[in-house]
Amino acid sequence: MLTSQPTIRPYQSYVYAYPHKTAYGRLDTHPTGRPGLRELWAAERKDALSLYLHIPFCEVRCGFCNLFTRIGAPDELTTRYLDALDRQATAVRDALGDEAPVRFAAAAFGGGTPTFLTAAELERLCDIAERRMGADLRSVPLSVETSPSTATADRLAVLADRGTTRISIGVQSFIDAEARAAVRPQRRADAEAALGRIRDVRIPVLNIDLIYGIDGQTEDSWRTSLDAALGWQPEELYLYPLYVRPLTGLGRFGADVEAAADAAWDEQRLRLYRAGRDHLLAHGYEQVSMRMFRRAGAPQEGPADYACQTDGMIGLGCGARSYTTRLHYSFDYAVEMREVRTIIDGYTATEDFSRAEVGRYVDGDEARRRHLLQSLLQAQGLQLTDYRQRFGTLPGDDFRSELDRFDARGWLDGAADAAGLLRLSPEGLAHSDALGPELFSPAVRAAMAAYELK
């Protein structure tokens, strides 16, 4: 039975990867030192890898953004970055070896904004994925992120020709005043023109990102943005709650940070979430997770909503993460622009990419937590037999107190038991950003608390 829990804040943290990147540490301080990539990947399955290439450049930085990206790329920085990406790809492919077949089952270009690159640079990016890593982009799902200002005809033509099956565009709001309030300078006309160009190149899956909880946003204006997006019949829609994070534009200049702890704002976001969810369900969309909705019958031509969680992830670029079964690793992370620039400059000067620099080892308990998180936060839920087959136990054996707590709040779907599932109720999905952090281990919480923002 659903009980009132006024002290539980529904918007605590967007759990898109576990352990969280702020729980990573420098591996040169680990007792075994920085591991070599060849050693890390020696015992891993390599027949269904995922490939992610990160481009850390944007024309502007949105007020809500805490991604690893910088504004602009002076002095041929994109050329130097792609040179470093080429060196890294060569080192990683060498580390994978040829003792067992190496095959990529999915690929993605993210950022930042990958289409910040010119058409010629996008060709080179694809060449790095194909010629250096051996990914056949035309035969696997390839997802690419873009923005209204960079989704130009020549760039989109390259992406379509090189096999892109899914393109995701961040519109956030079709209301010009709301876009300005989110420190995202764009006009609806520009977003509509970009969407028209995307549809012209016939990439199979279009995803549109929208944000709710913007200052001044109402249910009517939210519905206006939803209907404007639906007019393009996108195969996917992501609905994101607005967060005010430290060191972002909104966190520093554009918003009262105290609003981040305001119950009224929580209630506004929950109200808009429910309105958006119900509107999309009524228009023939299926809910995949709290954020993701897919049009009924639409192809799944990109990575699943939690694909960044899977083992066998190869990340290239200074903002990318890689996942083996025992170690998650990356380069350093920052939000503040000066720190981001320093990390990018260091990356472009790197010659030796043969060892992991920053990361966190994932032991048996953390692997269980990660598996539970990545499955439970999906609308379809967790197959109990899959969990037992992998770990020899059931979630109730390993996380009884947490699951009892979620059940008491009405966050679990009791009817799912008969189907051998552990699944969230609609209210549980709505509270995904509160439920997820409660599954973090004490060690990860401590590491995150010790992390110094930069």
The amino acid that residue 443 corresponds to is: A
Instruction: Note the pLDDT tens digit of each residue in 61-109.
Output: 655 556 677 788 888 999 999 999 999 999 999 999 998 899 999 999 9
The amino acid that residue 79 corresponds to is: T
Task: Name the E strands within 56-141.
Answer: 57-58, 70-71, 104-111
DSSP 275-316: HHHHHHHHTTEEE-BSSEEEETT----S--TTGGGSSSEEEE
Which pLDDT value is given to residue 303? 56
Q: Which among 143, 89, 80, 88 is positioned nearest to 117, based on CA atoms?
A: 80
Which pLDDT value is given to residue 65? 59
d(C-alpha 378, C-alpha 382), whole Å: 8
What backbone torsions phi and psi does residue 44 show, to the nearest 5 degrees?
Answer: -85, 150
pTM of the predicted structure, to 2 decimals:
0.92
What backbone torsions phi and psi does residue 195 show, to the nearest 5 degrees?
Answer: -65, -40
Beta carbons within 8 Å of 229's beta carbon, 6+ residues apart: 171, 174, 208, 210, 237
Distance between first and last Cα of the chain: 43
User: The tokens of 390 are what?
Assistant: 């992998």
Instruction: Note the pLDDT tens digit of each residue in 254-273.
Output: 444 445 458 888 999 999 99
Task: Check if the beta carbon of residue 412 is closer than 8 Å to that of residue 2.
Answer: no
User: What averages of pLDDT result for each successive group of 10 residues across the chain (454 residues)?
Assistant: 62 88 90 91 94 90 64 90 98 95 95 94 98 97 95 98 97 94 86 98 97 94 98 97 66 48 87 98 97 92 53 92 94 85 93 96 93 94 94 96 96 91 97 96 95 84
Beta carbons within 8 Å of 421's beta carbon, 6+ residues apart: 380, 381, 382, 383, 384, 413
Task: Check if the beta carbon of residue 316 is closer than 8 Å to that of residue 52.
Answer: yes
Mutual angle of helices 77-96 and 337-349, in 10-degree steps: 60
